[in-house]
Structure 1
Amino acid sequence: MPYWLYILIVIASVYLVISLLLYLLQDYFLFKPEKLSKDFQFYYENQETEEYNIETRDGAIINGLRFKAQKPKGVVFYLKGNSKSIKGWGKFAVDFTRHGYDVIMVDYRGFGKSTGRRTQKAVKRDMQVIYNKIKEKVSEKYIILYGRSLGSGFATKLASMNNPRMLILDAPYYSLSKVAKKYIPFMPLSLLIKFPMPTYKWLKYVNCPIHIIHGTDDRLIPYKTSVKLSRINPKTTTLHTVIGGGHKNLNTFEAYHKMLSEIVNSKPEKVNLEGSSIHVKHSSKPSNAKV
């Protein structure tokens, strides 16, 4: 066997092994779940909660919490990130209950007390089931979808298929395939990745107001990602910038809380452009200049 052919076979074999490992182990890299026992008791200081379990058509159990506000004026369906469980994420519910909104948080399959085999299709279906349950109690015009990091993709998909009051994306990604390609550019991710999560595709079909919040110092999902996403539906999208904010610390910035307050308490209004400068064009030459 020629030496060059031997080398080629070795390289091809290594590439195939890496591809296989990437396909089989990607769940361990993408998801960092925290398991909770069935009898675990949730507790949050100064928060009133109600726990529930919903059984899906394939027999999985989706566990979630409702954080109750006094005299609620709406519901925030909060779709969390890829780590831990709602045991820890629940502390962020106060950012909405303080403004008079109930908050619904759930654990994805394999997180917390939730069970079932985790696939992109299954999780999307689960989130729609939860959304439908919320709709049974509350009109869609009072439902806000909030997606944080990994949850931003699922929230966008839900918004594209329903008619919530608004969609809020916190540190969203363009697609998980794009994020992965940044770290392993030499792999055929379109064939290997189980959770491509093409947020940019789903965003095209969202009809409600869209608010994107992102920190300028986010090293995991760059700020420019949100700039790019904001251009997909520019007429209905507002980009909110947290100067100096990273991927996991936006809640530590006063600017973030100010933005969130303005977003959830705002009422959609059509801007009257009559008499504005929208059609005024700048010219480098005086209007009476001779050519």
Structure 2
Amino acid sequence: MQNWLYIVLVILGIYILLSVLLFYLQDYFLFKPEKLSKDFQFHYDNQEIEEYNIETRDGATINGLRFKSQKPKGVVFYLKGNSKSIKGWGKFAVDFTRHGYDVIMVDYRGFGKSTGRRTQKAIKRDMQVVYDKIKEQVAEKYIILYGRSMGSGFAAKLASMNNPRMLILDAPYYSLSKVAKKFIPFMPLSLLIKFPMPTYKWLRYVNCPIHIIHGTDDRLIPYKTSVKLSKIKPESTTLYTVIGGGHKDLNTFESYHKMLGEIITSRPTKVNLEGSSINVKHSSKHANAKA
């Protein structure tokens, strides 16, 4: 009996130790920031950029870039993934500037030149501050929110609290808690995770058109995640499928660029269903036999 009790206590002790380590080290596993010196100079071939810094109310600095286009049709606020800095992510701005849109990219706290203690609440507040700055120069009907992977949750939250022209989610997650549970199903994540990021909850309050792009071969965030998300507000959501696309390579697919171009250059139109088969139902076998 004493041996069994000893074994139980050892297992319990290990479980508690793992829980404590997960709580304090999760920031290391979730975020892979690249630090940049304050005097680092951004440069992109054939791109006109403007660098800026925003001071937050708690004393942090959010560093960002504006990629400029000639006679812009609007602004894309691009919320990037959980790795590197806008130094590398900036190369994706061309996918929007070539369509006549300015692009705003910022580094989250602790990334690039941005400073400050990183928490889910603080980052959400920072993104709203940036969005408000954009609104000072551009009407919301000309603002497109684009969230990539980690940034998809923050983009969904922003869209739920504001009225942008549209929300585009690239390889989004249902919630980060769900993603983490896939790798460590035995841990009490609801109590431990500091960045639950419940995208599915925030999407319920989004009133603009929602466009979701996902690759069928995404091994980090499965394609079925976007299928599930698309059912939250099906009347205003369109799901775009990149056949064979993974988590980090959608930009290498011609179909992705075709989809993106169609999304950002089109205007939502109401479908005229008069005379369509929308209300026509197939007869049952029994009914057919009887007829």
**Normalised by the size of structure 1, how large is the TM-score?**
0.98
1:4-23 → structure 2 map (5 Å cutoff)? 4-23=4-23
- Cα distance in structure 1, aligned partners of 2:286 and 2:75: 55
1:1-291 → structure 2 map (5 Å cutoff)? 2-285=2-285, 289-290=289-290
2:146 alignment partner, SS class = strand
- Partner amino acid for 2:193? I
2:8 alignment partner, SS class = helix
1:137 alignment partner, SS class = coil
TM superposition shift of 1:268? 1.1
TM superposition shift of 1:62? 0.1
> 5+ residue gaps in structure 2?
none
2:64 alignment partner, SS class = strand
- Name the CA shift for 1:4/1:127 in 2 (closer, same or farther; >3 Å): same
Q: Deviations over 1:53-96 (max 9, x none)?
A: 00000000000000000000000000000000000000000000
- Partner amino acid for 2:272? N
Q: Deviations over 1:3-28 (max 9, x none)?
A: 11111111111001000000010000
2:235 alignment partner, SS class = coil
Identity %: 85
> 5+ residue gaps in structure 1?
none
TM superposition shift of 1:139? 0.3
1:5 alignment partner, SS class = helix
- Name the CA shift for 1:86/1:286 in 2 (closer, same or farther; >3 Å): same
Q: Deviations over 1:226-277 (max 9, x none)?
A: 0000000000000000000000000000000000000000111111111111
- Partner amino acid for 1:89? W
- Name the CA shift for 1:7/1:289 in 2 (closer, same or farther; >3 Å): closer
- Cα distance in structure 1, aligned partners of 2:287 and 2:85: 64
Q: Deviations over 1:103-140 (max 9, x none)?
A: 00000000000000000000000000000000000000
Q: How many residues align?
A: 291
- Cα distance in structure 2, aligned partners of 1:61 and 1:265: 33
- Cα distance in structure 1, aligned partners of 2:28 and 2:284: 58
- Partner amino acid for 1:36? L
- Cα distance in structure 2, aligned partners of 1:244 and 1:36: 34
- Name the CA shift for 1:277/1:58 in 2 (closer, same or farther; >3 Å): same
TM superposition shift of 1:144? 0.2
- Name the CA shift for 1:82/1:288 in 2 (closer, same or farther; >3 Å): closer
1:208 alignment partner, SS class = coil
- Cα distance in structure 2, aligned partners of 1:237 and 1:91: 28
- Partner amino acid for 1:128? Q
- Name the CA shift for 1:36/1:278 in 2 (closer, same or farther; >3 Å): same
- Cα distance in structure 1, aligned partners of 2:222 and 2:270: 31
1:11 alignment partner, SS class = helix
